[in-house]
C-alpha cells in the first residue's frame, strides 16, 4: 500500500478528483456535502492498474483528502504531515491562488519530495497557462520537477493518464518505504464502535504494527494493546508502513485518544520537551523575524513552542537539508540555515532527523518554515556565549545527525 495526500486551493476539485479516481466519497460529514466544501480530512482508496494491464503487480493507493480553505489549515497539516507524497491540484479555470501557495509552502517545509501536478477542470479552460505557472512555482520547492497531467473529472478525460502517472510515482515510493523502523502512528481520527470499543486511525510512515502488540499512547505514555487491526477496510494480522491503518485498542478510555496524539513502540522514542533544530528559511523570506511563540506541527500533532534563536550558519551555504531542500532560482543565493532551540508546551515523540513545520499563529498565509530536529534532548545553555557556541557546533553537523554527533555533544 502507498499513501498520497491532496493539496491545493479551496474549490479546485480535489475531492471531486479523488471521487472520480476511487469511486468513494471522501467527504465524511453531511455539512461538507451540503456546502460542497471539504472541512476535515477525508479518506479513500483504489487499486491502480498494473503496467502490463494484468492482475499481477497491482498496487493499492490510499488518499488523504485535505481541506483547501484557509480556515482549516490545521486540518490540512494533520493530513499532509505523515505522508510521503502529494497530488497537487490546480484548476484550469482558476489558476494559481493564495491557498495554492500556502499548501505548497507547507509541502516544501515538510520536505515532501514525491508528487504529481494535476490540472483539473480541463473541460472548462485551456490547462496550458495554469500548468506553466504551477510547474514554475513547484520547481523551486522540495518537489522539484513534477509530472503534470490535465484531467476532467466530469468527462473522464485524462483520468487514465493520471492513474498511469500515479503508478509511476508509486514505483518510486516503493523503493523508499520501510517496515524496519520503530512504530510511531500519529492519530488523525478516534471514535467508538459498539461492541468493539475505541478505534483510532492514522497514516503509518514506517515500522510494522501487529495484533496483540503493546504500544504507548503519548503524551501520557499510557500502555494500550492492539485488539484488532484493519487496513483499507480489511482485517489484517500486521501492517507495515507506509499505510493507512485502523487500530481497535484495549485498555484505553473511549474519550482519551485524540487527533495529534501518537502510538509509539516502548523504549524507541524520546518524549521531547526541548529540542535544537535547523530552520531552512524560504528564498522569499531569507531572514525571518520569528515571534516569541510558534506553532510546531509534525505528523497529525501540533503544539505551541517558545523559540530561541541560537545563531545562523555562514551565508551562501546550501539551504534546506537532505530531507527536503528548497530550490531557489539559479540567480538567487540560498538563505543561510538558522539554528534555534524550541521549548514545547506538550512533549512529542521525536528522533534526530525528524522534519517539523513551524507556523506563526498570528500571521496569515506564508509564515511557514521547515526545520530538522538535530537534538531532541539538548544540553542546557548555562553560560554566556553558550547559544552561539551551540550554533557553531550544529552548523558542522550533516543534514541528518549521526549517533556519533549526538554522543560527542553529550560527552558520552
**Rounded to whole angstroms, how far apart are CA atoms 139 and 125?**
23
User: In the predicted model, is pLDDT for residue 35 greater than 50?
Assistant: yes
Locus of grid cell 499505510: 243
What's the rounded mean pLDDT across residues 385-409? 95
Residues 6+ apart with CB under 8 A from 406: 352, 375
Segment 93-152, tens digit of pLDDT: 999 998 999 999 999 999 999 999 999 999 999 999 999 999 999 999 999 999 999 999
CB 191 within 8 Å of CB 202: no
The 10 Å Cβ neighbour count of residue 388 is 13
User: In the predicted model, is pLDDT for residue 365 greater than 80?
Assistant: no
The 10 Å Cβ neighbour count of residue 378 is 20
User: In the predicted model, is pLDDT for residue 325 greater than 60?
Assistant: no
Mean pLDDT of the chain: 90
User: In the predicted model, is pLDDT for residue 364 greater than 70?
Assistant: no
What's the rounded mean pLDDT across residues 313-342? 64
CB 188 within 8 Å of CB 79: yes
Locus of grid cell 509564515: 367
Segment 45-55, tens digit of pLDDT: 999 987 666 55
**Rounded to whole angstroms, how far apart are CA atoms 370 and 328?**
15
Predicted structure pTM score: 0.91
Which carries the bigger pLDDT value, residue 156 or residue 56? 156
Percent helix, strand and coil across the chain, each rounded to 5?
20, 35, 45
The 10 Å Cβ neighbour count of residue 85 is 23
CB 262 within 8 Å of CB 207: no
Amino acid at each position: 500500500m502507498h499513501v498520497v495526500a491532496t493539496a491545493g486551493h479551496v474549490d479546485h476539485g480535489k475531492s471531486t478528483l479523488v471521487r472520480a479516481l476511487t469511486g468513494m466519497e471522501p467527504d465524511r460529514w453531511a455539512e461538507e456535502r451540503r456546502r460542497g466544501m471539504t472541512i476535515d480530512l477525508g479518506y479513500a482508496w483504489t487499486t491502480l492498474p498494473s503496467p502490463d494491464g494484468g492482475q499481477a503487480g497491482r498496487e493499492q493507493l490510499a488518499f488523504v483528502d485535505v481541506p483547501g480553505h484557509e480556515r482549516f489549515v490545521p486540518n490540512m497539516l494533520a493530513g499532509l504531515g505523515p505522508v510521503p507524497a502529494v497530488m497537487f491540484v490546480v484548476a484550469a479555470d482558476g489558476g494559481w491562488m493564495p491557498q495554492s501557495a500556502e499548501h505548497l509552502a507547507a509541502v516544501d517545509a515538510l520536505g515532501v519530495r514525491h508528487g504529481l501536478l494535476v490540472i483539473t477542470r480541463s473541460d472548462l479552460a485551456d490547462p496550458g497557462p495554469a500548468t506553466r505557472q504551477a510547474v514554475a512555482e513547484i520547481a523551486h520547492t522540495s518537489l522539484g520537477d513534477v509530472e503534470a497531467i490535465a484531467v476532467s473529472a466530469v468527462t473522464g478525460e485524462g483520468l487514465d493518464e493520471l492513474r498511469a502517472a500515479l503508478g509511476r510515482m508509486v514505483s518510486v515510493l516503493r523503493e523508499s518505504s520501510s517496515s524496519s523502523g520503530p512504530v510511531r502512528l500519529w492519530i488523525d481520527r478516534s471514535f467508538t464502535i459498539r461492541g468493539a470499543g475505541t478505534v483510532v486511525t492514522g497514516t503509518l510512515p514506517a515500522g510494522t504494527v501487529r495484533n496483540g502488540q503493546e504500544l504507548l499512547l503519548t503524551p501520557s505514555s499510557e500502555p494500550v494493546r492492539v485488539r484488532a487491526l484493519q487496513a483499507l477496510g480489511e482485517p489484517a494480522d500486521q501492517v507495515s508502513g507506509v499505510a493507512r491503518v485502523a487500530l481497535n485498542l484495549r485498555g484505553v478510555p473511549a474519550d482519551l485518544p485524540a487527533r495529534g496524539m501518537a502510538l509509539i513502540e516502548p523504549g524507541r522514542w524520546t518524549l521531547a520537551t526541548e529540542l535544537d533544530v535547523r530552520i531552512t528559511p524560504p528564498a522569499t523570506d531569507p531572514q525571518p523575524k520569528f515571534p516569541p511563540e510558534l506553532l510546531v506541527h509534525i505528523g497529525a500533532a501540533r503544539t505551541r513552542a517558545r523559540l530561541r534563536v541560537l545563531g545562523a550558519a555562514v551565508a551562501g551555504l546550501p539551504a534546506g537539508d537532505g530531507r527536503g531542500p528548497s530550490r531557489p532560482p539559479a540567480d538567487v543565493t540560498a538563505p543561510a540555515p538558522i539554528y534555534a532551540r524550541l521549548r514545547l508546551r506538550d512533549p512529542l515523540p521525536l528522533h534526530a532527523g525528524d522534519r517539523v513545520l513551524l507556523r506563526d499563529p498570528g500571521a496569515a498565509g506564508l509564515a511557514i518554515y521547515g526545520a530538522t530536529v538535530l537534538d531532541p534532548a539538548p544540553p542546557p545553555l548555562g553560560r554566556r556565549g553558550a547559544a552561539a557556541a551551540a550554533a557553531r557546533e550544529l552548523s558542522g553537523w550533516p543534514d541528518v545527525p549521526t549517533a556519533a554527533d549526538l554522543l560527542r555533544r553529550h560527552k558520552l
